[in-house]
Amino acid sequence: MSAAADILAGSAAKAAQKRVSGWAQLTRLLPYVRRHTGEVLVGMLTQAGMGITGTLLPLIIGVLVDCIKGAEVPLAQLGRLTQISLGFLLPYYHARNAQTIAVFCLALIVICAIQGIFSYWTRQILIGLSRDIEYDLRNDLLNKLVVMEPEFYVRNRTGELMSRCTNDLNSVRMVLGPGIMYSANTFATMLLAVVLMFWISTRLSFYVLLPVPVVAIAVWIFGQQIHALYGKIQASLAVLSAKAQENLAGVRVVRAYGQEHAEIRGFDAPNREYIDRNLRLIYFWSLFMPLLQMLIGLAFVLVLWQGGRLVILSRITLGELIAFYTFMTRLIFPMVALGFVTNIFQRGGASMGRLNYILDSEPKINDSEAARGKITGIRGEIEFRNLTFTYPTQRSDIDETKGNGTPALNKAVLHDISLHVPAGSILAIVGPTGSGKSTLAVLIARLWDAPRGTLLIDGRPIREWPLETLRRAVGYVPQDTFLFSETLRENLAFGVDDATDQQIREAAEVASIAAEIDEFPAKFDTMVGERGITLSGGQKQRMAIARAVIRDPKILILDDSLSSVDTGTEERILRRLESILRQRTTVLISHRVSTVQHADQIVVLRDGRIVERGTHSELLARGGYYADLHQKQLLEEELERE
């Protein structure tokens, strides 16, 4: 696919994503919730228990007021409901009786304690559930990220992916924990309270519900704004995170070039954009909450006004008005929580959409064409058949001659490569920078996909080999050496779970790094700094060689892996590697003739084409690029000796 097509496809995908509502994005969480169905049910039961016990409190307060007022029958308007809910306490009721007040106050304390227990378990279960699902989501995100091909990481910056896996994941967790808990609490409390309020007084209940349509409209309007804004905020945060990550990773380059102030200025623009979008969100949130509080306050004024009239007219008792008013007070938190929950769900919906981008991504390099059934081990024969390769992530230039904005074809990196490497032989590739040497290497490891039928391993198209089988048979040492922030031992044994200390030392000795490791205070248990910062370039390269050797691969690829070591160390490494190289198929990529002169065949690449091939002596006799390179390096060595 051309870069222009990629851009168009990406734009279409983004447009489609914008059309998907936050609620639709959150449906992706349902499979995760189903894994914890038991916990959800228990959490909902404890939430219901909290709502029921909370409903008893206003009724008991109403009974206390009627007792003090001297009513012969407490909460007379509720009738049968009073018997059902407070039947266990009514035998102790006597008008204007101190013992009655003591009994009902004690009941208040007990019910508050029971409600507290239900509240504790609700939070323990539902908030704990959100952490469990967060754990599952984080694992699924990492599982997806580690199988994605390099093209995915060309299109998405590391900082942006990190932002999605941290900040966005946290917003989704808020939906699963506080969002669900407060939603259930709001629903249970409002349902029970409204039913009992209608039972006490239908007229007063209508006054309470008057602002509800306005609240619903406000929630919908502000919810849409919050969802759109939060999506932009998270995108800004991703850009900010990517910028910070790049500056931290390249801090030595920034300092070396004295660009501290320039980078700070460059950071200011995305930082300001992030703050401005947050301020915009605060603006909408600041309008929403006062509006909600104003509507709630208006309902309280109406109830006091009309409820007072009903008490004066003896339509309801003072205790019933106080109970009604207490139910209204209990509705304040659900009403406020409604705004809070709206914010949580809209933020979570926007963030889940960004996580779905990762979860829905499918690796283009996969086992869809792999042969089924029993697969024999790889011997190491490699064959390229008329291979022409273009990176799918290259940007297309616009064909100005047409003047119609038609994307031009991408420039091919490799052209018509035909090459056969017998199993157990050594192939060396030399050529100027940018000639396509490393591209050949990554195609063998299938980090990028060669066109169908152009690359075969043991006579079988490379796509028919299962990825696990292929990559376990390949030991790849890239130009850009990466070491993990672990011990030297763990870095050396990376990818070999059962590596023994003896195997680790032997691999280190082959790479001529064992003696230097022994000089460290902790030897093989020495911690390596981030990306191997505590080691020199040559030490990191030799660590990478040892890491590849310990895997005992059938195909060993050394991509300019001796460029950071001196010629003396290079000779030692090659001498120790000689017996190992003869036991497997080896691909040596180098700018040094001394590295490749003993190869079985040497190919010279220029502009993505094979311009020379043969043995060391044959190429010298031909007097081409290879011979010129050899003469230049001999002259350089002579000058160094002088």
Domain boundary (552, 568, 598) is at 552
Q: String of b and e for 85-97 (b: at least 16 CB within 10 Å)?
A: bbeebeeebeeee
Coil, helix or strand at residue 476: strand
609 and 503: one domain?
Answer: no
CATH number at residue 241: 1.20.1560.10
Q: What are the phi and psi torsion angles at 604 (to 5°)?
A: -110, 125
pLDDT band for position 4 (cuts 50, 70, 90): very low
Q: How far apart are CA 251 and CA 446, in angstroms?
A: 32
Residues 468 and 482 both lie in one domain: no
pLDDT of residue 17: 45
Q: What is the pLDDT of residues 387-396, one digit of tens each?
A: 999 988 654 4
- Tell me how far apart the alpha carbons of residues 101 and 93 are, in angstroms, rounded to a whole number: 8
**Are 471 and 495 spatial neighbours (Cβ–Cβ below 8 Å)?**
no
443 pLDDT above the threshold of 90: yes
Average pLDDT over residues 177-206: 79
Domain boundary, last residue among 552, 571, 593: 552
Considering the domain boundaries, does residue 373 fall inside one? no
612 and 536 both lie in a single domain: no
Helix (H) or strand (E) holding 461: strand 460-461
The torsion angles phi and psi of 564, rounded to 5 degrees, stand at -100, 5
What is the structure's pLDDT at 21? 61
How many Cβ atoms are within 10 Å of 291's Cβ, its own excluded? 16
Model pLDDT for residues 8-54, shown as the tens digit of each residue: 334 334 444 445 566 788 888 889 988 888 888 898 888 888 888 88
Q: Find the range with the poorest average confidence among 18-22, 129-133, 184-188, 306-310.
A: 18-22
How many CB atoms are located within 10 Å of the residue 266 CB? 14
pLDDT at 189: 75
Same domain, 91 and 225: yes
Rounded Cα distance between 436 and 542, Å, is 24
CB-count exposure of residue 342 (10 Å: 0-12, 13-18, 19+)? buried
Do 101 and 79 fall within a single domain?
yes
What proportion of the chain, given as a percentage, has pLDDT over 90?
10
Q: Is residue 623 part of a domain?
A: no
Mean pLDDT in residue range 51-79? 80
Using DSSP bridges, classify how beta strands 555-559 and 585-589 pair: parallel, antiparallel or unpaired.
Answer: parallel
Among 552, 569, 586, give the residue marking a domain's end.
552
The stretch 198-227 carries a mean pLDDT of: 75
Same-domain check for residues 453 and 314 = no
Supply the pLDDT for residue 640: 62
Domain of residue 537, CATH code: 3.40.50.300
pLDDT band at 384 (very low <50, low <70, confident <90, very high): very high
Choice among 19-28, 83-92, 342-351 with the minimum mean pLDDT: 19-28
Kindly state the helix (H) or strand (E) to which residue 608 belongs, with its residue range: none
For residue 509, give its domain range: 476-552
Pair 511, 415 in one domain: no
> Do 40 and 187 reside in the same domain of the chain?
yes
Amino acid at 51: G
Alpha-carbon gap, residue 58 to 321, rounded angstroms:
10
pLDDT value at 171 more than 50: yes
**Most confident option among 173-187, 280-294, 359-373, 410-424:** 410-424
- Same domain, yes or no, for 605 and 533? no
Q: What is the mean pLDDT of the chain?
A: 81
DSSP annotation of 25: H
Task: Write down the pTM of the prediction.
Answer: 0.72
Separation CA 640–CA 642 (nearest Å): 5
With respect to residue 622, please indicate whether it lies within any of the assigned structural domains. no
pLDDT band for position 241 (cuts 50, 70, 90): confident
Q: 337: closest CA among 190, 207, 205?
A: 190
Q: What is the total count of domains within the chain?
A: 3
Rounded to 10 deg, the angle between the 212-249 and 318-359 helix axes is: 40
Q: How far is CA 603 from CA 140, 270, 435, 494, in A?
A: 43, 48, 12, 31
| Confidence band for 3, pLDDT divided at 50, 70 and 90 | very low
User: Do 187 and 328 have their domain in common?
Assistant: yes
Residues 306, 204 contacting (CB under 8 angstroms): yes
Q: What is the arithmetic mean of pLDDT over 278-285? A: 81
Residue-wise pLDDT tens digits, 503-541: 888 888 888 888 888 888 888 888 887 766 778 878 888
- Tell whether 88 and 142 lie within a shared domain: yes
Return the C-alpha torsion angle 158, 159, 161, 163, nearest 10.
Answer: 160
Say if residue 339 is in the same domain as residue 415.
Answer: no
**Rounded to an integer, what distance in angstroms lies between the CA atom of residue 479 and that of residue 433?**
12
**Residue labelled with tokens 């039961």:** 45
Radius of gyration over alpha carbons of the chain, in Å?
A: 36
